[in-house]
Amino acid sequence: MSVPGIEESIVTTPTAAAGPVDVLIVGGGIGGLSAAYALAREGLRVRVLERAREFGEVGAGLQIAPNCTRILHDYGLLDEAENLGVLPKTMVMRDALDGSELTRLDLVDLEREYGFPYMVIHRSDLHGIFLRACRRAGVDLITDARVVGYENTPSGAEVLLEDGRTDEARIVIAADGLRSVARRLLTDDQPVSSPYVAYRAAVPIEQVGRNIDLSEVSVHIGPHCHFVHYGLRGGRMLNQVAVFRSPRALAGEKNWGTPDELDNAFATTCPDVQAGIPLMWRDRWWRMFDRDPIMTWVHGNITLLGDAAHPPLQYMAQGAIMAIEDGWVLARHVAAHRAENGSIDWQAAFAAYEAVRPEHCRRVLTTTRAWGELWHLDGTARLQRNALLRARDTYDYSFTDWIYGPTALTPEEEPPMFTPIPLDSGRSAAGAGPVQDASCSCST
C-alpha cells in the first residue's frame, strides 16, 4: 500500500565504499537510520550498510509514545510524522472475552502531561521519514551489503562484508536487529523464543465493513491472546495486530501459528474482536522473540544499538522507540565530548551512552515480559487483574512517568520505576480464589 508522494523504499546501487567516513552503521532499519541522522546532524560523515536490496520496512503500524515524539520534535521531523500518522484521543484496554472496559489513557491529557503527543504511524512511513532525512543530511546509504565480521583496529573499527569487501571508520554502530552478528562479540546468548505468534493487517478503511472509532487505540486482552487496532494514514487505513499462544509452538512443533490456530485462539472472544479476525493477513505471521538484557554494549570502537542490543517482546510498544532513543542519546554525548578543534572523545561518548541506555532498556525488557504475562492471564488471575486495572484512575500517570518522560542522558536522570501492585490485591474485587504470583505494571 503506498501513498502518493511517499517513497516506501529506495534502491541504491551497490558500490564499494566511496571514501572514508567517521561512522559506519550496520543495518538500515528504524534504529540504524535514526542514529545515522542523529550523528549526521552533528556534522559527522556517516555511512549505512544494509544487507537488503532496498531500504524498507515490513509490517504495519507502530505506536509512538511521547518519549519518542519528543525526539522527533528535536529532530524537526514531528510535523512530517504527524501529517503521515494519526493522533488518537484515547487508548482503551478491554477484556477480550466479555468486551468490558478495564482502563484507559486520555491521550489528549497525556500530551499535556508529557508535552508531546502519542502517535500511531505506519512503519514504512516512519522509516521513510528517517530515510529522507538521512539523504538530505548527506548520509551515504549502501544496500546489498551484508556484514559478516567486525574487528577493532588501531584507528577505529573494520567490518567484513559477505562478498569479501571491507569497510572501516572511526566507530562502528551495529544496528543489525534481533539476530545481530555484532552481538556475538559481547555474548553468546541466543534469541529467546516465546510460543506467541503475531498476525498483522493494515487495510484500507473501506474494506473494514464495520464502524470503528479511529480516535481510539483499542487493546483487548484475554487468555493467551490479545488484539490491538488503531487507524493509520489520517484514518484511511486500519491497523490490526492479533497475538496468541500457538499450541504447536508450545509443543515445540515446526508447523506453528497457522491460520486455523489463529481462528481457534480467538473463537471465544467478544464480537468486536471476532469481527477483526477475518481481516488479518493470512499469508505470513511472526513468532515473538526477545533476548535477555545485557549490560555491556560496547566493544572497543564498536557498539550495539536498537534491537541488536535490546530486542523486546512488543507488549509495551517501545522497541522502535528505544532504538530511536539510543541514537539520540549517543549523538548528545558525541556533542558533549567534542573538543573545540572538532575532535571527538569517542571513548568518553561511548562510556556515557553505556552508562545510561542498558539499564533503561533492561527495565523495559523485563517489564514488558511481565506486562505480557498479565495481559494473557486466565481464570481467577484474569479477574484479579481486571479488578486492578479497573481501579486505576485514568489520570494516574505513576505507571507511565518512568517511560514517557524525557529520555535520560545520565543514570541520575533515569526516573524511578513504578511500584508494582501484587496481583492478589485484586482478590477482594474478583472473589477469593487461587492467587498467581505476578505484578501489575499498568503501563499501556
Ligand X SMILES: Cc1cc2nc3c(=O)[nH]c(=O)nc-3n(C[C@H](O)[C@H](O)[C@H](O)COP(=O)(O)OP(=O)(O)OC[C@H]3O[C@@H](n4cnc5c(N)ncnc54)[C@H](O)[C@@H]3O)c2cc1C
Selected from 158, 176, 290, 325, the binder of ligand X by CB under 6 A is 176
Residue 3 makes contact with ligand X by CB under 6 A = no
The DSSP code for 116 is S
CB 330 within 8 A of CB 353: yes
Selected from 198, 270, 298, 442, the binder of ligand X by CB under 6 A is 198
End-to-end Cα distance, the chain: 28
Which cell numbers hold the place of 36?
Answer: 545515522
Report helix, strand or coil for 297.
coil
Residue 320 makes contact with ligand X by CB under 6 A = yes
Report helix, strand or coil for 420.
coil
Total site size for ligand X, rule CB under 6 A: 33
Stretch touching ligand X by CB under 6 A, among 218-226, 246-254, 316-324, 433-441: 316-324
Residue type present at position 229: H
Q: Least distance to ligand X from the beta carbon of 208, Å? A: 20
Q: Least distance to ligand X from the beta carbon of 171, Å? A: 16
Residue type present at position 205: I
Alpha carbon 168 to chain centroid, angstroms: 29
Size (the chain), residues: 444
For residues 29 and 426, which CB has a smaller minimum distance to ligand X in the complex?
Answer: 29
Which cell numbers hold the place of 392?
Answer: 486505576
Q: Least distance to ligand X from the beta carbon of 317, Å? A: 3
Q: Whose grid coordinates read 544496528?
A: 175
Residue 32 makes contact with ligand X by CB under 6 A = yes
For residues 281 and 286, which CB has a smaller minimum distance to ligand X in the complex?
Answer: 286
Question: Residue 347: which of 170, 162, 144, 184 has the closest Cα?
Answer: 170
- Distances in Å between the Cα of 440 and the Cα atoms of 311, 380, 421, 436 are 22, 15, 5, 12
CB 158 within 8 A of CB 8: no
Number of other CB atoms surrounding residue 159 within 10 Å: 24
User: Interhelix angle for 30-40 vs 123-136, to 10°?
Assistant: 30
Residue 286 makes contact with ligand X by CB under 6 A = yes
x/- map, 290-309, ligand X, by CB under 6 A: ----------------xx--
Residue 46 makes contact with ligand X by CB under 6 A = no
For residues 137 and 421, which CB has a smaller minimum distance to ligand X in the complex?
Answer: 137
- For this structure, is 37 an active site residue? no
Catalytic residue among 114, 150, 196, 230: 230
Stretch touching ligand X by CB under 6 A, among 44-52, 75-83, 273-281, 353-361: 44-52
For residues 317 and 388, which CB has a smaller minimum distance to ligand X in the complex?
Answer: 317
Positions touching ligand X (CB under 6 A) are 26-32, 49-52, 62-63, 145-147, 175-178, 181, 198, 241, 286, 306-307, 314, 317-321, 323
What residues act catalytically?
Answer: 230
